[in-house]
Amino acid sequence: MSNNTSSKTEADLAAIDPAVRRASRMKLLLIIAIFAVPLILATVYLQMVKSSGGTVGDTSRGQLIQPAVPLTEFALSEQDGDFTLDEMRGHWTLLYMPQGECLEKCELQLYYMRQVRLALNQRMDRVKRVVLTESPEQLKTELLAEHVGLVVAAGTPEEQAGLRDQVRAAEAAMEELSDAIYMIDPMGNVMLRFPPDLPPKSMLKDIVHLLKVSRIG
């Protein structure tokens, strides 16, 4: 009886279309990759920091948020309509969240974000810049004119909290900072924090490394 059962099982397996088996394996690998990529990116970055002689949390480099924290839905607006998590997916996003009116430090951070992105040259289209504010009017007209392509995500304090609170929670175990710039990966994970006193060249170096080791976004 067992021999007959074994033969039948082998015959059933042999009858499965090889193309179906390959498709099933590909779907499984894709599912694994979707969940593994953020962890792999974080691990690669951590190794790069260590190999360069730095440590996570060292203000001479960006500060790794480990593990990377996935954002959930929020609802803001921009010039062309709604600004949601979907607007971040597919790109590496530099996010800046000033408090109140955009004054000297805010203007400087926006300048650094712009210059770092321009310095990426052929890779610049993989990175977008987002500033969070109550309304575009909080940014001077001449300032907006200097930052073509900057996404101004606007909302009431309550609407902004949908994004701000998630970022704050992601860095809960880290030293509290104001005026930091955050890197969101193309899958919507908060993964890196750039302190306000970080030289833009160091920010650029980190981003170049990330874009080199990642093919997403």
Q: Which pLDDT value is given to residue 12? A: 56
Average pLDDT over residues 172-176: 90
**pLDDT level of residue 87 (50, 70, 90 thresholds):** very high
And the tokens for 113? 């974000």
Q: Is 132 exposed, middle or buried (0-12, 13-18, 19+ CB in 10 A)?
A: buried
pTM of this structure: 0.75
Write down the CATH superfamily of domain 28-213: Glutaredoxin (3.40.30.10)
Q: Are strands 127-133 and 151-154 parallel, antiparallel or unpaired?
A: parallel
How many Å apart are CA 195 and CA 197, to the nearest integer?
6
pLDDT at 52 over 50: no
The whole-number pLDDT of residue 7 equals 54
